[in-house]
Amino acid sequence: MPVSREGHFPTLEEAESNLIRKALDQTGGSRTAAAQLLGIHPSTLWRKLRDFDTEIPL
């Protein structure tokens, strides 16, 4: 995970959000395929998306 401009590592939530965003990009927005790519259950991905307070478009 890249270090931010301020010279510190991203928070766990930031890193997780970035990985989810990349997985969604790679799967054309398919949440089911993104969950498979990430190795998590689709309901786990949906919960994480909800918990990010729409930081990632639903």
* Domains of the chain: residue spans and CATH: 12-51 (1.10.10)
For residue range 32-42, list pLDDT tens digits in order.
999 999 999 99
Using one digit for the tens of pLDDT, what is the confidence trace for 19-31? 999 999 999 999 9
pTM: 0.75
Q: Which long-range contacts (CB under 8 A, 24 or more apart) does 46-51 make?
A: 48/16, 48/20, 49/20
Contact 49, 40 (CB under 8 A): no
Instruction: Provide the residue type at 33 as one letter.
Output: A
Q: Looking at residue 4, what is its pLDDT?
A: 56
Q: Could you tell me the sign of the dihedral formed by the alpha carbons of 10, 53, 36, 22, in that order?
A: negative
Residue 24 burial (10 A CB sphere; 0-12, 13-18, 19+): buried
